Amino acid sequence: MKKLAATALVAGAFAASGALAQGGEIHIGVPVFLSGPSAGPFGMPERNAAALLFDALNEGSVPAPYGTIGINGRTIRATYIDEASDAVVEYRNLVQRSGAEVVIGYTSSGNCKSIAPLAEELETLTVLVDCGTPQIFEEVVTDPQFLFRTGAMSTMDAVGAARYLADRGVDMSRVAGINQNYAWGQDNWRDFTAALTALETESGIVSQQFPQLFAGQYGAEVSALLTSTPKVTFTSFWGGDLEAFVLQAAPRGLFARMSILLTCGEALFPGMSADIPEGTIVGARGPFSVFAPDTELARWFAESYAERFGSAPTFPAWKMAQAVLGVKAAYEAAGADATGADAAASFKGLEFEAPGGIIQMAIGNGHQAIQGISYGTYKLVDGRPSVENVISYDAACVNPPNDMTAIGWIEAGFPGATCD
């Protein structure tokens, strides 16, 4: 696996075929939710993080190993588009009309599946930020050249959730799930229930709810969960759906009657801190936010974000920062005159540092990142969101190897997994 080395700022002239002189400009397109129910909890933290990183990189003020100006000396110019629009049309416009050299973004697994083939067709370096479905590199694009994902697959969340419940001794005799009815929700529930079987928890599935994405109203589903009397309910809800579910389910006593695990629960911080019942099991889709490592880069990002935007960055912001720094690392590992194609070649199998720790592009034939995952129980401390009872799992414990599909790995009993 290639590792990022510190790079010197090297001058060089670029040919008209796509290279620019040092001190030129690199145009990056950033699709995030700017409208709709996911704009507040996901789109705006992602946009804020991108703006912060672009400005800091242009100033050369990001800590090592990213202290050089821009990307290979080229200042960054960003175009933000709304992911809530037609993803395919807007991706084409971003690349073919606006001339974006790199695209960094996307939260919805549905949108990621839609644009993944376009990245290869248009030969544009494209980095997926947060969408988690394993289908991207297992089914949609099986021989990628230009498409990458710097965040881990949802398999990490689901396997980590099952292990956390088992390691904490939570009663899993009766298990229920409520997940959105598209790739993200379906894959999460598939991997979670398969992990329960592989871990021999002897769980009985008593309810499976699959409301439509962005449905917003969950009265019938909450009633079904209450009636089925599970001991644990698992949900991979995100965005406005997660907010609505908590606001509708908590007053009806759902959280008081069973253990609730929210794989994306940290995204509710800090705006809904008072609404999350204490004891709820929450994750952050990786080692982010309250689960982040204590490194110079992590401290710089958290402090700079809070100072600029007035609140702590939630995990969508951390994942955006990770993607941006991955692009810088790939370009600079490719050399001073690197084009998007050169950077894509260098990105494959790359290892680089991010605020959440060391990122390994280890699976998906070097195009898919692996990371560890942490879960903890929610607690308010002096009015601020916090977690306790934290258990962290290394990347090698919760991600499949490169030569196996996610579900195949789980059903085979996690061969090769190392869980210290």
Segment 84-130, tens digit of pLDDT: 999 999 999 999 999 999 999 999 999 999 999 999 999 999 999 99
Instruction: List own/partner pairs for 342-348 with CB under 8 A and 24 or more apart.
Output: 343/102, 343/125, 344/125, 344/145, 344/146, 344/148, 346/2, 347/125, 347/148, 348/2
Residue 205 lies in a domain: yes
SS3 state of residue 31:
strand
Burial class (CB in 10 A: 0-12, 13-18, 19+), 383: exposed
**How would DSSP label each residue in 352-405?**
EEETTEEEEEEETTTTEEE--EEEEEEEEETTEEEEEEEEEE-HHHHS--TTS-
Residue 418 lies in a domain: no
Residue 85 lies in a domain: yes
Same domain, 194 and 83: no
Residue 297 lies in a domain: yes
Query: In which domain, by residue range, is 268 found?
Result: 155-290+372-411
Same domain, 70 and 126: yes
Same domain, 316 and 401: no
Same domain, 100 and 184: no
Residue 377 lies in a domain: yes
Same domain, 105 and 200: no
Same domain, 134 and 201: no
SS3 state of residue 297:
helix
Angle at 113 between CA 110 and CA 410, to 5 degrees: 90
Residue 16 lies in a domain: yes
Same domain, 66 and 125: yes
pLDDT interval class at 397 (50, 70, 90): very high
Q: What's the CA gap between 333 and 345, in Å, rounded?
A: 10
How large is the C-alpha radius of gyration of the chain?
Answer: 21
Same domain, 227 and 335: no
Residue 420 lies in a domain: no
Mean pLDDT, rounded, of the chain: 94
Q: What's the CA gap between 82 and 212, in Å, rounded?
A: 21
Bridge partners (DSSP) listed for residue 27: 77
Same domain, 138 and 196: no
Same domain, 106 and 188: no
**Which CATH number goes with the domain that contains 206?**
3.40.50.2300
Q: Per residue in 379-396, pLDDT tens?
A: 999 989 999 999 999 999
Same domain, 296 and 264: no
Q: Per residue in 315-334, pLDDT tens?
A: 999 999 999 999 999 999 99
Residue 349 lies in a domain: yes
Which candidate, 368, 388, 391, 370, places its Cα nearest to that of 379? 388
Residue 291 pLDDT: 98
Same domain, 167 and 135: no
Q: What's the CA gap between 331 and 7, in Å, rounded?
A: 10
Residue 54 and residue 250 in contact, taking contact as beta carbons nearer than 8 Å: no
Residue 21 in this model has a pLDDT that exceeds 80: no
Residue 128 and residue 136 in contact, taking contact as beta carbons nearer than 8 Å: yes
Q: Per residue in 339-395, pLDDT tens?
A: 999 999 999 999 999 999 999 999 999 999 999 999 999 999 998 999 999 999 999
Number of domains in the chain: 2
Residue 332's H or E segment, with its range, is: helix 315-334
Both tokens of 414, joined, read 């996690």
Residue 130 and residue 316 in contact, taking contact as beta carbons nearer than 8 Å: yes
